[in-house]
Structure 1
Amino acid sequence: MAELSKDKAPNESAHTVSLSARSHAEIGGVTEVKSFDEQSVVLDTVCGQLVLEGEGLHVGTLDMARGVLVIDGRQTALYYIEASSGRKKGFFRG
């Protein structure tokens, strides 16, 4: 998919997640979008791999130069995958 060049990689403080009414997410610090479909989006951020699950998901904006991704659609879960254990670390589940 899309990948941010290594010389422009943002630092960890650039990682942000903003969720509005469980239907609009803006994520900063994105380095690569691994996969996406209407049920899930898997992406790498400067703070690790992030998974967003839901229904009718679609990418509203993808700006890899700035590391910003906007996802619209009903969002039901947002969590990080810990690289060493493969465990989910939830932001919210529901």
Structure 2
Amino acid sequence: MEEKKTMCAHRLSLDNRQEGTVTGVRDIHSFNESEILLETEAGRLSVKGELLHVRRLNLEKGEADIEGKINSLTYLSKKTENKEESLLKRMFR
């Protein structure tokens, strides 16, 4: 029997820059208190802030709840594979 890969719609909800819900999550690449890097249906999403925490993660449903002081949400292009690449190297491509 053929296995179907269900695609969940990507949605981002943020309340008072303190709590957020993300749907369409495929994976979490990394997380710490200052950054969470998610793989979503819409591409990689970088969440930056302070005291960040992944409160709930359900990859079967593609959902994640995050909390903390959220300062920025950035979708990274598919070309941005190495996030540790130096700023100077990125400026002079």
Q: Normalization by structure 2: what TM-score?
A: 0.78
Match of 1:10 in 2: 7
Unaligned residue ranges in structure 1 (runs of 5+) = 1-5, 87-94
Match of 1:19 in 2: 14
Task: Confirm whether residue 43 of structure 1 aligns to residue 13 of structure 2.
Answer: no
Percent identical among aligned pairs is 33
Moved over 3 A (4+): 6-9
Match of 1:66 in 2: 61
- Contact 1:52/1:75 (CA < 8 Å) preserved in 2? yes
Unaligned residue ranges in structure 2 (runs of 5+) = 81-93
Structure 2 CA distance for aligned equivalents of residues 7 and 56 of structure 1: 37
CA RMSD of the aligned region, Å?
1.5
Pair 1:51–1:9, CA change in 2 (3 A) = farther
| Correspondent of 1:31 among 26, 50, 53 | 26
Counterpart secondary structure, 1:59: strand
- Contact 1:24/1:73 (CA < 8 Å) preserved in 2? yes
Give the aligned length. Answer: 78
1:42 positional shift: 0.2
Match of 2:73 in 1: 78
Greater Rg over alpha carbons, structure:
2
Counterpart secondary structure, 2:30: strand
